[in-house]
Structure 1
Amino acid sequence: MLIGLSWALILAGGFFTIVGAIGLVRMPDVYTRMHAASVTDTLGAGLLLLGFMLQAGPSLVLLKLVFLFVLFFFVSPVATHAVANAALHYGIKPQLAEDRRGRLDADTREPAAIEEELRIEAAQ
């Protein structure tokens, strides 16, 4: 029974880690990518470590896994916050809802600068 629960936690942790990796690729800007990666990575790693703790049993390995669990739950969100602050400090602006219109610049195939288009639409 305990082995089955530990494997369920390990599989759930792997699932959340894979979902975080997909979110890292699919999200539009650096802030949403960091959010998707940090939340699912923290949850995925936590579930993986809990599954490993159940398999380790009472031993020194369990104590090390508990230390890693606590360390990871404090370090991962703080590191994500620090990277987000650094990105904001260096001028990377968050993408707002009105910025996402799915338009691409014909030359660069990058999202088009739509500030002028928004001004034209507002004037009409």
Structure 2
Amino acid sequence: MTGTSVDIFMDILISICLLVGTFFIFSTSIGLLRFPDVYTRMHAATKASTLGIAGIMIGAFLFLYVEHGIFSGKLILGLLFVLLTVPVSGHMISRAAHRSGVKPWGDKVRDDYTEAIRAKENPDHMK
């Protein structure tokens, strides 16, 4: 064995981060292909891809820091940017789809957002 136990642990941790990130990116692509409507596809596109990109960026950051001694602030800023913007953009796209009349898949779906919009537009209706 040429490496110390800390080096081996860090290599395993980096590999786990990259594998978990790759799994989530792969599940994003399957979810986009298989899910039936815009809302479930948006869920797959935002949640799984955020986790996938985070795993890959953390793995890349750890690799650069451990193997080469480089502290990459760009990777940290990129990770923060992705964690802040992807969920918000997914929410806004889903909200725009709902407001333009796209119905959720299935006939037994409870639509609380429509009820909230109606209550906000007509406050006397709820009393």
- Runs of 5+ unmatched residues, structure 1: 100-124
**Hey, what's the Cα distance between the residues in 2 that align with 1:11 and 1:97?**
38
Task: Name the amino acid aligned to 1:4.
Answer: I
Distance apart, 1:42 and its partner CA: 0.5
Relative to its length, the structure with more helix (as a share) is 2
Please report the RMSD computed on the Cα atoms of aligned residues, expressed in angstroms.
Answer: 1.5
Instruction: Say which of 80, 85, 94 aligns to 1:75.
Output: 85
Helix, strand or coil: the match of 1:98?
coil
Partner of 1:59: 70
Q: How does 1:18-29 map to 2 (within 5 A)?
A: 18-29=26-37
1:105 matched residue in structure 2: none
* Count of residue pairs brought into register by the alignment: 98
**Do the aligned partners of 1:6 and 1:51 also contact (CA within 8 Å) in 2?**
yes
Out of 108, 113, 121, the position equivalent to 1:98 is 108
Q: TM-score, normalised by structure 2?
A: 0.71
Structure 1 counterpart of 2:48, one-letter code: T
Q: What is the CA–CA distance in structure 1 between the aligned matches of 2:16 and 2:91, rounded to whole Å? A: 30
Match of 2:23 among 6, 15, 29: 15
Taking structure 1 as the reference length, the TM-score comes to 0.73
Runs of 4+, deviation exceeding 4 Å = none
Q: Deviations over 1:35-90 (max 9, x none)?
A: 01211101111100110010111535x21110011110000001101110111121
Segments of structure 2 that go 5 or more residues without pairing to the other structure are 1-7, 110-127
How far does residue 8 in structure 1 lie from its aligned partner after superposition?
1.7
Task: Give distance in 2, aligned partners of 1:97 and 1:77.
Answer: 27
Secondary structure of residue in 2 paired with 1:92: coil
State, as a whole percentage, how many aligned pairs show the same letter. Answer: 35
